[in-house]
Amino acid sequence: MNAHVVTAPAVPPARTFRPAWSARAIAAFSGTTGLAVKIVLLSLSNALAAWAGFVLADKGKWPALGVLVLATATLDWIYLSKRTLPLKFLAPGVVFLVGFQIVPILYTINVAFTNYSTGHVISKPDAIQQIKLVSLEAPPSARQYTMAPARDHGGKLVLILREDATGNGYVGTKEGLTPLPAGSVKAGALGIVSAPADYKLVKGAALFGLDAQLQDFTVPTDGDSAIRPQGITEAVELRPTLRYDAKRDVFTRISDGKVFHDNGRGSFVSGKEELEPGWKTYIGASNFRSIASNPLVRAPFLRVFAWTIFFATATVFLSFAIGLFLAIALDKQGMRFQRIYRSILVLPYAIPGFLSILVWAGLLNDDFGVVNRTFHLSVPWLFDANWAKVACILVSVWLTVPYFFLVAMGALQSIPAELIEAARVDGGGPWQRFRRVTLPLLLVATAPLLIASFAFNFNNFNVIYLLTGGGPAQGGSNVAGATDILISYTYKLAIAAGKGNDYGLATAVSIIIFLIVATISGIAFWRTKTLEEIR
C-alpha cells in the first residue's frame, strides 16, 4: 500500500513594510534636522517681529507693540517647549484666523464708528499744523527771494537767501533771518551759485532728497510772517490768515475775527464754514443714523436694497429652474450626443467670469453689439435703467446656470429609482412625480447651495461693476446708479462719495450688508430643516 505524502503549501516571503512617503518626510524632519529647521524658522519669525516692533515703537503704537511682543513670546514658547504638542498644530491656524479674519472684521467695525474719509485722515495735531500752513498767504508787499539750501559748519540745514528787489543776502534758520555781508551771495540763471565760506550749498542728488524738510521749513520774520521755500530755488515771505489759540482750542481769522471751534466731528467750523483739513475721530453711530435719517443717503440705500433683493432672488430662481430643466432633459438613457450637450452647457462655468462679463458688455452694446445687429433690435441694453437691469439678470443667469446644472445632475443621480417607479405605479403623472418626489428630494441636497448662491449674488460685485458700472445714472443721487447693488454702492461710497472717499459710511453699509445676508441665510437654513423630514 503506497503512502501519500502531504506537502504544505509554499509560504510567500514576507514583504518588507515601507511607511508612506508622508510618514517618511515627517521622520526626516525629526531629531536634529527638525530642531535646526525649527530654530531657523523661529529666528526668521523673531527677526520679522523685531523689525515690526521697531516700526511700531517709532510711531508710538504701544498697545500694538505689546500685543506683538506677547504673540512672539507665546509662539517661541509653544515651539520650544516639549509640553505643548497640541498647540504646535493649532498655532498656525489660530495665527491666520486672527490675522486674516478677526483683525479685519474688528478694524471694519472700528472704522464704521469714525468719520474716516477724505479730509479726515490724519490726527488732530497734524490737522492743526496743516491748517496753519494752508492759511499762509503772501501779503501785498511780500518780499521774493532766490534761495539755495545749505549746511552750516555743524551740518544744520539753513537757507541762503538773496532778496530779488535789493540784492541783499541773508541766511535763514528756524530761529530767524540773519543778514550776510554785501556781495557774499551771488545768483545765476539757475539760482544761487555761491555763498559765504561758512556754508556749504547742497547740490546734486542730495538736493532732491530735501523735499520733505523744505516743505516744513519756515524762517520767522516780522510778527506772524515767515519766509517759506517755494521749490528748491525760490522763497517768498508769507503771513498767516488764521491764528490758533491752544488754550481755547480755536482758530481765529485775523481779517475779521471770526472764530472756528472744534465741532466734535473732526473739524473746526464757524456756522456752515469749515476749515480743511479735518482729522479722524470717533463719531459714534452717526454713520448708521445717516443711513436711516439722511434723505440723501436713505433714499438711494432703500432703492438699492430693494433692487439687490430682486436681483439675487431672480438670478437664483431662474438659474436653478433652467439648470434643473436642462439636467432632467439630459438625464435620459440612450440619448445621442449626451456628453457633448453636457460639455457645451458647462462651458460658461469653465471660462473666467470677469472675462465673460466683459465679452457680454460688448455683445450688448447699443450700436455695435452682436445681439442688436443679429436680431435687428434697437434695445438700449446698458443705457436704459430697466433694460440694464434685465441685462444684469440675464448675464448673471448665464454665468450661474452651469453651476446649478451640475448640482442638479448630481442630485438626480442620488434619487432612488424605486421611489420614481413606485410613484408611477401609483398612477402619478410626470408633473406629480416631479412635484411630489423629485423636487422635494432635490431640495434636501440643494437647499444649502441655493442659500449660498443667494448670498453670493447678493454681493455679486463683478457682474454689476464690469457690465454696467452700476449705471445708468439716476436722479437724486450722484453715487447710486440704476443697477447698483449694495456692494457696488458701498464701493462707490468708499471711493467717490461727496467730496471724496467716505470709508466710515461705506463700512457702516458693509456691516448692514453682513447683517442682512446673515439674517436671510439664518432664516432660510432654519426653514430648510423641515426638508430633513423627507429623508
Tens of pLDDT, residue by residue over 99-142, are: 899 999 999 999 999 999 988 999 999 999 889 888 888 877 77
CA distance 408 to 414: 10
The residues, any chain, with a CB within 8 Å of residue 349's CB and separated by 6 or more, are 399, 402, 403, 406
CA distance 488 to 460: 9
What the block records as the C-alpha cell of 416 is 432612488
Q: Which of 116, 17, 50 is nearest to 500 (CA)?
A: 116
Integer-rounded Cα radius of gyration of the chain: 36
Per domain, the residue ranges of the chain are: 29-112, 138-240, 292-534
Say if domain 138-240 classifies as CATH 2.40.430.10. Answer: yes
Reported residue count of the chain is: 535
The residues, any chain, with a CB within 8 Å of residue 121's CB and separated by 6 or more, are 277, 279, 280
Please give the pLDDT value at position 184.
84
- What confidence category does residue 484 fall into, taking pLDDT thresholds of 50, 70 and 90? very high
Q: What are phi and psi of 289, to 5 degrees?
A: -65, -35
Q: Classify domain 29-112 at the CATH class level.
A: mainly alpha
Q: Classify domain 292-534 at the CATH class level.
A: mainly alpha
Task: Decide if 29-112 and 138-240 have a common fold.
Answer: no
pTM: 0.75
CA distance 467 to 465: 6
CA distance 280 to 216: 22
Q: Which of 292, 277, 262 is nearest to 505 (CA)?
A: 292
- What confidence category does residue 14 fall into, taking pLDDT thresholds of 50, 70 and 90? low
Across the strands, what pairs with 237?
227
Q: How many CB atoms lie within 10 A of CB 394?
A: 17
pLDDT (tens digit, 9 = 90+) per residue, 218-258?
Answer: 888 877 788 888 888 889 988 889 999 999 999 999 889 99
C-alpha distance from residue 276 to each of 128, 129, 236 (Å): 9, 11, 23
